[in-house]
Amino acid sequence: MDIFYIGEQQVTLNQIGATASVFRWLDATHDEVAADPEAWRDAVEKITGVRLYDLHLRDAVNLTHPSYFDSTQEYEMVVFRKLALHADASTATDGIKRKVPAVLNKLLTLPVSFFLIDKALVTVRSSKSQSIEQARARLLSYKYKPEGNTHAARLPTSPEDLMLRLLNSMVDQYLDLRQPLTQQLDRWQHALLDPRKPFKNWLALLDSRIELRKLDHLCEEQHDALQELRDYIVDTHDGTVNGNGRSKDLLLVRTNDVIEHIGRVLNHARRLEASLESAVQIHFAAMAHRTSEIMRTLTVITALFMPLTLITGIFGMNFVKMPMLDMASGFWIIMGTMLGLVVLLLGYFRSKSYFEERAMQQSSRPHDTRE
């Protein structure tokens, strides 16, 4: 477990003698906590003076725990599921192998647990958490700049501020997936509506819808957890940290910003899911339309041959005496009659606009302009 001592102008790592810190950040991994939970809890209690409850300790090492918020008289706990960018993408979090596009494999998630204690933030996360590793690197590379520099980055002023910054970077990872998800959806739509190649990859499409539904539920859980955190800040925060009366408003601004980002991801996931369902419905509607066109063609062919079949059937009967059997021009008279019937039926079908829709479709197709 690493301990960051975050002051007003500098950040130190694992320096016990750093007494000028504003608050401390205790960062541990799931493997470290799971190896000896009691020893880790004793270490946290020794540093912060607060002992974590057994249920919360088990929640911190539960890799399937959903996003949620809980509070006690001594600390608050936030569990937030983030993208597992370095996880094995071949198996989903439920242990079921799915045949999905590469971009949807990136929706695998792992929980990050935050414990907000007076003057301390405790995090339990995966060993390859990109957002937290980047935050650690930024803190350690921080260099103080004069107050007059408006472009200078500020250090977190409280455990809540640091947690909200980490949450914001985790949510931004979901926002980065919007474009590739949209592109994948466009490819699905083109494949579904391509008349030249029948769509056969229905299993992958079903698994993709399942992953999008999981993203929808995930965002709802994240939104509810952050909303409860916001309500807790409104109800209990006194608005004074180091004499700064604006701290409560700043925390609410950051919390609202994270909630708004989660809402954007949630709305995008729902739009993708609705668009995918619409593409499937359009696919079946197009298939039904093509089937209707085929049946129309077969109906016309059948209608054309029915009278011809009747005539050939009559003259195929085994009677000794029949009209025109002894006539030299009888064959040509019958053939002319059959041809005339075909012309009359074609004229009738054209008058009923049976062929107009097909002609319009053929004329609307783009012509090949290559020489």
pLDDT digits (tens, 9 = 90+) for 176-207: 777 777 777 777 777 777 777 777 777 777 77
Cα distance between residue 158 and residue 131, in whole Å:
19
Q: How far is CA 87 from the centre of its chain?
A: 17
**Residue 214: per-residue pLDDT:** 79
Cα distance between residue 126 and residue 312, in whole Å:
82
Average pLDDT estimate for 65-86? 83
**80 within 8 A of 189, measured Cβ to Cβ:** no
**Residue 159: per-residue pLDDT:** 85
pTM of the model: 0.67
**Residue 16: per-residue pLDDT:** 58
The two three-digit tokens of residue 353, written as one number: 């606009």
**Residue 85: per-residue pLDDT:** 58
Q: Which residues contact 79 (CB under 8 A, 6 or more apart)?
A: 59, 65, 66, 67, 68, 69, 111, 112, 113, 114, 225
pLDDT above 80: residue 364: no
pLDDT band at 368 (very low <50, low <70, confident <90, very high): very low
Using DSSP, state whether 13 is helix, strand or coil.
Answer: strand
Cα distance between residue 244 and residue 160, in whole Å:
14
pLDDT above 50: residue 92: no
Q: Which residues contact 166 (CB under 8 A, 6 or more apart)?
A: 112, 114, 123, 131, 132, 135
221-253, pLDDT tens digit by residue? 888 888 888 888 887 766 544 444 567 777 788
**How many other β-carbons are positioned within 10 Å of the β-carbon of residue 118?**
11
**Residue 173: per-residue pLDDT:** 77
Provide the sign of the torsion angle of the four alpha carbons 162, 108, 192, 186, taken in this order. Answer: positive
Residue-wise DSSP of 52-101? PPHHHHHHHT-TTPPPEEEE-SSEEEEEEEEE-TTS-TTS-TTS------
The two three-digit tokens of residue 8, written as one number: 């007003």
153: DSSP letter:
P
Cα dist. 208→56, 107, 198, 369 in Å?
Answer: 33, 11, 19, 38
Cα dist. 192→102, 213, 267, 300 in Å?
Answer: 19, 20, 24, 29
Describe the strand order of the beta sheet including 68-71 as a list of residue ranges.
Answer: 11-13, 2-6, 23-29, 120-125, 109-117, 75-83, 68-71
**178 within 8 A of 215, measured Cβ to Cβ:** no
For each of the domains in the chain, give its residue range(s) and CATH number, in order of start: 2-142+155-285 (3.30.460.20), 292-364 (1.20.58.340)
**21 within 8 A of 7, measured Cβ to Cβ:** yes
Q: How many residues does the chain have?
A: 371
pLDDT above 80: residue 148: no
Instruction: Give the H/E segment covering residue 209.
Output: helix 202-236
